[in-house]
Amino acid sequence: QSALTQPASVSGSPGQSITISCTGTSSDVGTHNYVSWYQQHPGKGPKLIILDVRNRPSGVSNRFSGSKSGNTASLTISGLQAEDEADYFCGSYTASSSYVFGTGTKVTVL
Amino acid sequence: EVQLVESGGGLVQPGRSLRLSCTASGFTFGDHAMSWFRQAPGKGLEWVGFIRNEFYGGTAEYAASVKGRFIMSRLDSKSIAYLQMNSLKTEDTALYYCVRGGGVHKRYSGSYPNWYDRWGQGALVTVSS
């Protein structure tokens, strides 16, 4: 199962909004709403920030939002802050019921 | 506070076995599926598999890369999840994370977590001669 495709890096200035795409196929992202997004700071374990395409777990800032169109899911970070600098991964089930991650996006706050 | 603490990692020779443990606290362990993920040095995340809770049969699903070599189990009375890794290969070298599953949806082979919401800090497994 191939990884989902994400841009290698995205950058923005504090206060700006950025969007990270996660492109899959009709056999994974496009077939259901079990798409999640994870944030990972260096040396730390991942943190779930979006579940079921667009829902935020308790305690996650409302600056993070998710959406999906066809085979592409997206994560938008609004009001970019220095603490948002991290790696971001999307995750999705596949038609064969395995779970696959995106290639990862490094977010840099300029 | 939800906590997941992995233990049992280390250096092991190819072909040998190793067992990881994940001790959970801060939530009702028996209500959740428990999963394992791994991340090779400098690489992305890889799903290893998960084990359902007893309500959904307590059975496990595995990634193709580990199926037949790795076995997941759980001891709900002590809130511990295990990952028994057999016939280890050099490509199994990674940081292994214990992760709590959340939500449930049905697929052909049974129930699956919708998401994976709490992660441990990981246990490093190095397979090398």
- Contact across the interface for A97 and B112, Cβ inside 8 Å: yes
The tokens for B63 are: 């990634």
Per-residue HEC secondary structure of A13-81 comes to CCCCCEEEEEECCCCCHHHCCCEEEEEECCCCCCEEEEECCCECCCCCCCCEEEEEECCEEEEEECCCC
Percent of chain B with pLDDT over 90: 90
The pLDDT profile of chain A, 110 residues, written as one tens digit per residue, is: 568 999 999 999 999 999 999 999 988 999 889 999 999 999 888 999 999 999 999 999 999 999 999 999 999 999 999 999 999 999 999 888 899 999 999 999 99
- Contact across the interface for B119 and A46, Cβ inside 8 Å: yes
For residue A58, the chain B residue with the least C-alpha distance is B117
- Contact across the interface for B47 and A101, Cβ inside 8 Å: yes
Strand order in the sheet with B3-7: B3-7, B18-25, B80-85, B70-75
Residues A74 and A103 sit within 8 Å (Cβ to Cβ): no
Summarised one tens digit per residue, pLDDT across range B65-112 is 999 999 999 999 999 999 999 999 999 999 999 999 998 898 888 899
Sorted by sequence, the CB contacts under 8 Å of residue B28 that are 6+ apart come out as none
For residue A36, the chain B residue with the least C-alpha distance is B115
The tokens for B31 are: 């209500």
Dmax of chain A from CA atoms? 41
The partner residue sitting opposite A45, judged by closest CB among B61, B102, B121, is: B121
* Cα A7 from Cα A36, distance rounded (Å): 16
pLDDT reported for residue A1: 57
What Rg value do the Cα atoms of chain A yield, rounded? 13
Interface test with A, best of B6, B95, B96, B115 (most A CBs within 10 A): B115
On chain B, the residues whose CB falls within 8 A of the CB of A52 are 103, 114-115
